[in-house]
Structure 1
Amino acid sequence: MPSAIKDIRVTPMEHGSKSNVDFGATVHGIDLNEFTDSDFEIIHEALHKHKMLVFKEQPKMLAPQRQYDLTRRFDPDETTGGFAHGVDPFLTSHNDVDIYGLPNRPAIPVQPQVHILGRGELPDNHYQFPPGFKVKGIDHHYFHLPPHIPSEEREAGKSRFYQWHFDGSLYAIPPPRVGCLLAVRTPKGPDVKVQWDDGTGTEMAIAPGATAMVAGSRALELLTPELRDIAYNSKIEYAPHCFEWMSTAHSTRLGHSIETEGLEKPLDKLKPWTEEKVCTYPMVWKNPMTGEDSLQVHGQGALKLFLKSSPDGEETIIDDLREVRAFMHKLMRPVLEPSNIYAHRHEEQDVILWYNRALWHSITEFPESYGPRIMHQCNVAASDHPVAARQLPA
């Protein structure tokens, strides 16, 4: 008998007249646990067009093995299949099963490229984890510049963006092409109010535990013509082992840069590194399927800037961290306004897939009384490093 024809629908999201967000689509009719090659062709085209897909009405939780299979297919030239942040350290063991990762990012033993993020206790019998295993949540008290949000205000629903970034190690390993996130458990409670805490008084109501996203294309569009010329022709050198390097410093309260207090871990005190593995990336990356350009920068990891305003222009090197961060602020701050931000309201069993080379994202905090947030995330090291987009003549 012929196979049944699937009713697959890819529907662009509507964000409302007050929003400048122009990305995102919902997908119905594809069971990601059973997706076919023809299904993937639809997913591949839709993701590059819409930059973020939300898969609804999944019959059951996406298995880690299938989540990995879906994610890795976006890069057929990648052969190692490695986690985008490198080899995980040993964490614990249970019933003779070794578990690797970090307390806030344990890897699932049956598919170690899939990690568990969020906060709180895992469901019972969850993929070989010991009973009562709790994922350590992020807490801006340990990373953001004081003053912090008092605990009673956090419990009442005040929140922050933790870190605006694209996924990647920023050292040695090429950043993933896509990210994939499965909602296993979501916090239950009223919306929270994210505060910028940068002196502007800006705030935004979002779902608790939402993943916030902005488009690099919108960030590029909002730059002045002069800054846009520089972005197209300039590069950023990222610190070696940059997450270790910044671990002793403070993030800005908005989560887009690091405060310059001289608290970074000295480069000669980091775990061993070599110059040839340091990542220096263009500021503007091109979507290979649509040709769209995106400003893709990581403000917290930036160590040095190589600035030019035209392909043949004179290059200015900036290695003073205060100046580096002031410039990164000029690039990143314009897009970080409520009208440009999409905060995804996760629903259990839904899967979101995003194009990591065109969007920035940030996790957000929520009251502990709302319960656990348990997510499965997969990202795989790419086969290539980003290359510069070329600016067309005006």
Structure 2
Amino acid sequence: MVITAVVTEEEVGHLRLPAQKVAHQLPHAEKTDGRVVPIKHPEGSKVDFGAEIYGIDLNQFTDADFDFISDALHKHKMLVFKQQPEMLTPQQQYRLTSNFDPDETTGGFAHGHDPFLFHHDGTDFFGIPKRPAIPVQPQVHILGRGPLPDGHFGFPPDFEVQGIDHEEFHLPPHIPSEEREAGASRFYQWHFDGSLHNIPPPRVGCLLAVQTPKGPDVTVRWEDDKGTEMKMAPGATAMVAGSRALQLMDEETRKIVMHSHIEYAPHAFVWMSTAHSTKLGHLLETEGLEKPLDQLPKWERNKVCIYPMVWTNPKTGEKSLQVHGQGAFKLYLKNRPDGEETIVEDLKEVRTFMDKIMRPVLQPENIYAHPHKEQDVILWYNRALWHSITEFPKSYGPRIMHQCNIAASDHPVA
């Protein structure tokens, strides 16, 4: 069953999905059996985040387990839960994610309310073809590409998740199909999770690997003048740390980003839907193809998101450059708290500055490409890391992931 309907963010905004929020209350325990093992990155890598967690069954985690998880996540920024006895249930995946924000009360999906998708066997399904929601816990969505396992949470037996393809979004020329099938790949979009309009971005993101593609490593291409490439597992999620991006800046640029803000476009993903991404997936090409503001869904000035460029980890105090280059609409730049503010409105100038602060960290030595293993769960601090999916040959089979990210109770501050 392949669903081909196209749903816009405007339609999403006018449809409501009843929240099925679970209680934040967790079973009590005096101690945890959790163990942290930092990930050993290869020689030459500059990546300084990531750890594996052992000894915690996420289908039965306690309050002591969660305290341990929270401390470990804010320190290591990305956790991989290994040796899970059974596949994580959607209800427990939502419980894990929602406990990072006890003040959040709506249980809402980070991109707004899902539209009706189809009806099957007495159940209404919501979402979009590339991101259907699981009925028993609609804050958990299915991502990836390919057919679902038989009987998967009531979905029709022939249902296929529609994958994301760089040919739909990136500036041509695209990677030829024969080269893609031989393992050539791209980063699709470097981002933090969030709607960039009205809804606060999630504090954490969570992915469960249900099925992973099987085949040799792919080669991700930068397609730059240097011929930069990086090998990684098929279907890997690539990540970089905003703290590393700050480290790589010259002192003058660092002073600017520490005191500056970004205004994101109203309904940013509708606004950018008619434009092209750069090949690296970090910016939009400046071609004048963005959807005009008067053609966007109705919006109000007080719902436009203006965020600091640098966000602070509340437990460690670490600073991270946390920006979404493609959604950037306007910049408010100053190099000290009481300094004169320069407003940059020309999109070409906005993107020149965003390229300056983003591109240096987007190099192989700074990127961790997580090789998903079936039944493993990854959890990352969405307010300190950027991530991107990567493409892989269709012949490698399906990539089926359960994702949970929830709108936060607060917008980020510096």
Q: Do the structures match in fold with TM over 0.5? A: yes
Deviation at 1:6, TM superposition (A): 5.9
Deviation at 1:5, TM superposition (A): 7.8
C-alpha distance in 2, partners of 1:263/1:88? Answer: 27
Structure 1 residue 38 and structure 2 residue 64: aligned?
yes
Deviation at 1:4, TM superposition (A): 11
Q: Which runs of 5+ in 1 are unaligned?
A: 389-394
C-alpha distance in 2, partners of 1:320/1:368? Answer: 40
Q: Which runs of 5+ in 2 are unaligned?
A: 1-28
C-alpha distance in 1, partners of 2:321/2:226? Answer: 24
Structure 1 residue 206 and structure 2 residue 232: aligned?
yes
Structure 1 residue 186 and structure 2 residue 212: aligned?
yes
The answer to whether the Cα contact below 8 Å between 2:30 and 2:64 also exists between their aligned partners in 1 is no
Corresponding residue for residue 140 of structure 1? 166
Corresponding residue for residue 391 of structure 1? none
C-alpha distance in 1, partners of 2:236/2:42? Answer: 18
Corresponding residue for residue 397 of structure 2? 371
Structure 1 residue 348 and structure 2 residue 381: aligned?
no
What secondary structure does 2:93 align onto? Answer: helix
1:245-260 alignment runs, 5 A limit: 245-260=271-286
C-alpha distance in 1, partners of 2:329/2:34? Answer: 45
C-alpha distance in 2, partners of 1:106/1:224? Answer: 43
Deviation at 1:198, TM superposition (A): 2.8
Amino acid at match of 1:231: V
Amino acid at match of 1:244: V
> What TM-score, normalized to structure 1?
0.97
What secondary structure does 1:78 align onto? Answer: coil
C-alpha distance in 1, partners of 2:225/2:238? Answer: 21
What secondary structure does 1:331 align onto? Answer: helix
Structure 1 residue 64 and structure 2 residue 110: aligned?
no
Amino acid at match of 1:22: D
Structure 1 residue 100 and structure 2 residue 126: aligned?
yes
Question: CA 1:5–1:219 in structure 2 vs 1: closer, same or farther (change >3 Å)?
Answer: closer
> What TM-score, normalized to structure 2?
0.92
Deviation at 1:17, TM superposition (A): 2.5
C-alpha distance in 1, partners of 2:383/2:87? Answer: 26
Structure 1 residue 278 and structure 2 residue 307: aligned?
no
Structure 1 residue 129 and structure 2 residue 155: aligned?
yes
Which of 46, 53, 56 does residue 27 from structure 1 map onto? 53
Q: CA deviation digits over 1:121-172, x for unaligned, max 9?
A: 0001111111110000010011000110000000000000000000000000
Paired residue total: 386
Identity of aligned residues (%): 74
C-alpha distance in 1, partners of 2:45/2:54? Answer: 24
> Pairwise CA RMSD of aligned residues?
1.1
Detail structure 1 runs of 4+ shifted over 2 Å in the superposition: 3-8
What secondary structure does 2:324 align onto? Answer: coil
Structure 1 residue 171 and structure 2 residue 197: aligned?
yes
Structure 1 residue 315 and structure 2 residue 341: aligned?
yes
Deviation at 1:20, TM superposition (A): 0.3
Q: CA deviation digits over 1:354-382, x for unaligned, max 9?
A: 00000000000000000000000000000
Corresponding residue for residue 16 of structure 1? 42
